[in-house]
Chain A
Amino acid sequence: MIDVKIPKEKKKGMIINLAGVLLLFGVLVVLCETGMLSNYIKGILMVCGIAVIMACSLNITVGYMGQIALGDCGFMAIGAYTAALITKAMESGGILVGAGAPNTLRFLIGTLAGGILAAVFGVLVGIPALRLRGDYLAIITLGFGEIIRVIIQNLKFAGGKGFSEGQAGQALIGINRLADLYVVFWIVVLTVVILFTFVRSKYGRAIIAIRNDDIAAGASGLNTTFYKVLAFTVSAFFAGIAGGIFAHYIGSLNAASFGWLKSTEYVIMVVFGGMGSLTGSIIAAVVLSALPEALRSFSEYRMLVYSVALVLVMIFKPTGLLGTYEFSLLRLFNRITGKSGKKLADKKQEVK
């Protein structure tokens, strides 16, 4: 009985979620094509998208694994520089140059490569760093992040105009702004879907078990080191992807902007939204990225207000505003059509 029942519900959920995403994309396309969105608003949306990827991926480490990592921007920097240098190299080599599809493809290849290299570094950093936990892990990731930043700053080929005319200590300039809002939208959707399935998979459950009790998880036969490094690597991969998008949106890169203070901004988003809630991360990332733009005079006091709010959240709701709550379109749909969540749960009980 159960075997038949659950996939049906799952299928329904998938259809509803797909419809929701398509609807959202439809709204975006209509708004863009009718010219209702200025380039300024599009820029804000792009920043929101990057923040969503960063916050959701960081939530894997901070929320689901329960360990603060302050070096996420180091991985973002690796992704950004790799992606930028690859698209630059492809342009000078005349590979996949041209408007439309070739541009998008080049952007995707660069960004994916950035993500992969960031993931490789995630493994390399994660294996030694994840032997520690708590405040020591926070400090060691901060250390690795800063080392990555200093090294990139001193790499000749990562400065100036790139490979051929590189200069250490300079910003990398002249990156083509290939990041297209539609493409970025789908990357964001894909990221959220992958992360969602990841935390609900066997791997995600193992990571949550490790957060709840490291030693008990190990005693139950989980290879805790493997799962910790896996979570860290997944975080690093998507940070690299976000970096790749950032590079092709902003057009020039400066290693100094990937310091640990930038990392703490993303940690703030995760903590605000709820440690262990991807919905929370998405909302917090969008709100905290858009708010300073909406209230220009506020942006000066932004960090001051955030830090006070952060302390208040920690005092009154230590797990973050949404805790571990996840929004579900399926549940909403069921509630609207009269099948309340409670009834469904009762039904499941009966079936058992």
Chain B
Amino acid sequence: MGTQVSIFIQQIINGLKIGSVYALVALGYTMVYGIIRLINFAHGDFIMVGSYVLLYTIPIMVACGLPAWTAIILAVTACAAVGVTVEKVAYKPVREKGTKMSALITAIAMSLFLENLAQTVFGASPKPVGTIFSFPNLELAGIKLNGNTMLTIAIGVVMMIALQLFVKKTKMGKAMRAVSEDGEAAILMGINKNRTISITFAIGSALAAVASLMYCASYPQATPTLGSMLGLKAFIAAVLGGIGIIPGAMLGGIVVGLVESLTKAYIGTLTGGVITSAFSDAIVFGILIVVLIVKPSGILGKNVGEKV
């Protein structure tokens, strides 16, 4: 019985770990959606960009005598630059001229572009990322706690609190909320809308870079399609919590992470082997479908009627 409980707790911790990665990525989706009503399909690929930057900068940092995690500074800068460039070059012209549909197609196209560019430049085969953290494992009442896992969760929590404070307390955060509420009215109030959107993209992409650090600390491999599934699941997390709502993204990320980890561990025994852990992706998508059908505004969202 004792081992059963400790395995269960282990699964919960694993779920929290991957959940906090999803939450950080979901924050990026949610911020962008909140401000320009666009699902940024390329957001998952920003994580991929981040992981390749880490792949190449970690050896440099180590060679300079700095700790490996300082590579994150370069990754954050690179991701923010990519995010802002994508917005300026592709999304902005389409947003000004086209419809919602053409914006969505552009987002899909940018995602394909980044993935295929990475494949051309770095090759399709996965590449190992150097060790980022090496913390000793803790042991608490018979439960093994992986140091890296605990740190990943801690970083996630800190980032979320910092972002929440930024959006609620600073002037820039106020501008973001104003633009997402009503873009035209925000311009009339003297807010520079385009600059606010760019900063939102920069912050969202920077969060993706941090997520890539956390992800690579647990799964140290960089592939061109790394961001694809991760991005989709994070998007599901954002929808689950209520898209456009920051606490919702965190909640959604944690829930998706927990569900994924627990279904992987227990679904086989619970259903007598009918549904195996190979179905875990399908189950996460199943959650999305149920949420979208039952309450499309998400757990924390309010239902808004449609105006004619």
Contact = CB atoms under 8 A, between A and B. Distances in A.
A310 B100 contact: no
B94 interface: yes
Interface in B84-101: 90, 93-94, 97-101
B282 interface: yes
A147 B38 contact: no
A154 B279 contact: yes
A307 B100 contact: no
Nearest to B89: A311
A314 B104 CA distance: 10
B278 interface: yes
A215 interface: yes
Contact of A68 (B38, B101, B279): B101
B113 A311 contact: yes
Contact of A304 (B93, B120, B286): B120
Given A143-B289, A301-B120, A151 B282 contact: yes
A307 B116 contact: yes
A264 B112 contact: yes
Interface string B203-236: 0000000000000000000000000100010011
A267 B204 CA distance: 27
A147 B278 contact: no
A142 B236 CA distance: 11
B286 A314 contact: no
A143 B279 contact: no
B270 interface: no
B178 interface: no
Contacts of A311: 90, 94, 106, 109-110, 113
A132 interface: yes
Interface string A131-167: 1101110111011101100110110000000000000
B289 A146 contact: no
Nearest to B109: A310
Contact of A315 (B94, B110, B289): B94
Contacts of A154: 276, 278-279
Size band of the interface chain B makes with A: 35 or more
Contact of A150 (B97, B235, B239, B279): B279
A323 interface: no
Interface string A259-277: 0010010011001000100
B102 A144 contact: no
A68 B102 CA distance: 10
A132 B285 contact: no
B116 A310 contact: no
Contacts of B296: 132, 136
Nearest to A127: B293
Contacts of A142: 232
B143 interface: no
Interface string B264-308: 000000000000101101100110110011001000000000101
Contacts of B288: 139-140, 143
A131 B293 CA distance: 8
B116 A140 contact: no
Given A135-B100, A150-B278, A140 B292 contact: yes
A294 B208 CA distance: 39
A128 interface: yes
B293 A139 contact: no
B165 to A, nearest CB: 29
B285 A147 contact: yes
Interface in A225-246: none
A304 B113 contact: yes
A144 B290 CA distance: 11
A307 B110 contact: yes
Contacts of B282: 146-147, 150-151
Nearest to A149: B282
Contacts of B113: 304, 307-308, 311
25 contacts: A68-B105, A129-B289, A131-B293, A132-B296, A139-B39, A140-B289, A144-B285, A147-B285, A147-B286, A147-B289, A151-B282, A154-B278, A169-B278, A264-B108, A267-B105, A267-B108, A271-B105, A304-B117, A304-B120, A306-B112, A310-B109, A314-B106, A315-B97, A318-B94, A318-B98
Interface of B: 38-39, 90, 93-94, 97-106, 108-110, 112-113, 115-117, 120, 228, 232, 235-236, 239, 276, 278-279, 281-282, 285-286, 288-289, 292-293, 296, 306, 308
Given A147-B286, A311-B94, 12 more contacts: A68-B101, A70-B108, A132-B292, A134-B101, A135-B38, A154-B279, A261-B112, A304-B113, A314-B109, A315-B93, A318-B98, A318-B102
